[in-house]
Structure 1
Amino acid sequence: RPGLRIGYMPQKLHIDPSLPLTVKRFLTLGGTPRLPLDEVLALTGIEALTGATMSNLSGGETQRVLLARALLRDPNLLVLDEPVQGVDVTGQEALYRLINDIRRQRQCGVLLVSHDLHLVMATTDTVICLNQHVCCHGHPEHVTNDPAYIALFGESAKPLVAPYTHHHDHTHDDHGNIVEKDQHRHA
Structure 2
Amino acid sequence: MNALLSATGLEFGPRAAPVLRDVSISVAPGEIVTLVGPNGSGKSTLLRLLIGALAPRRGKVHRARGLRIGYVPQSLVLDASLPITVRRFLDLPHRVSDADAAAALEQSGATGLEGRQMAALSGGQFQRVLLARAVLNRPQILILDEPTQGLDQPGQAAFYRRIATLRRDLGCAVLMVSHELHVVMSATDRVICLNGHVCCEGTPEVVTAAPAWRELFGTGTGGQLALYRHEHDHAHEAGGAAHHHHHHSHAEG
TM-score normalised over the length of structure 2: 0.62
Contact kept, 8 Å, 1:33 with 1:73, in 2: the verdict is no
2-side partners of 1:18 and 1:106: how far apart?
Answer: 35
Residue ranges of structure 2 left out of the alignment (5+ in a row): 1-63, 239-253
1-side partners of 2:153 and 2:102: how far apart?
Answer: 28
The equivalent of 1:15 in structure 2 is 78
Contact kept, 8 Å, 2:72 with 2:130, in 1: the verdict is yes
Residues 176 and 159 of structure 1: is their aligned pair in 2 closer, same or farther, counting only changes over 3 Å?
closer
The equivalent of 2:17 in structure 1 is none
Contact kept, 8 Å, 1:144 with 1:161, in 2: the verdict is no
Instruction: Report deviation, 1:154.
Output: 2.4
Tell me which moved more, 87-96 or 138-147: 87-96
Instruction: Compare the two structures and name the one with the higher helix fraction.
Output: 1
Q: Which has the higher contact order (CA 8 A, sep 6+)?
A: 2
- Percent of counterpart pairs with the same letter? 51
Amino acid at match of 1:76: Q
1:50 to 100, 114, 128: 114
Contact kept, 8 Å, 1:60 with 1:88, in 2: the verdict is no
The equivalent of 1:84 in structure 2 is 148
TM-score normalised over the length of structure 1: 0.82
Instruction: Report deviation, 1:32.
Output: 4.5
- Does the residue aligned with 2:185 lie in a helix, a strand or coil? helix
1-side partners of 2:205 and 2:148: how far apart?
Answer: 23
The equivalent of 1:29 in structure 2 is 92
What does 1:1-187 correspond to in 2, within 5 Å?
1-33=64-96, 36-158=100-222, 160-161=224-225, 164=229, 176-177=236-237
Instruction: Report deviation, 1:102.
Output: 0.5
Contact kept, 8 Å, 2:142 with 2:172, in 1: the verdict is yes
2-side partners of 1:131 and 1:142: how far apart?
Answer: 18
- Does the residue aligned with 1:129 lie in a helix, a strand or coil? strand
Instruction: Compare the two structures and name the one with the higher strand fraction.
Output: 2
Instruction: Report deviation, 1:110.
Output: 0.5
Residue ranges of structure 1 left out of the alignment (5+ in a row): 166-171, 179-187
Q: Report the RMSD for the aligned CA atoms in angstroms.
A: 2.4
Spell out structure 1 runs of 4+ moving beyond 6 A: none
Amino acid at match of 1:161: L
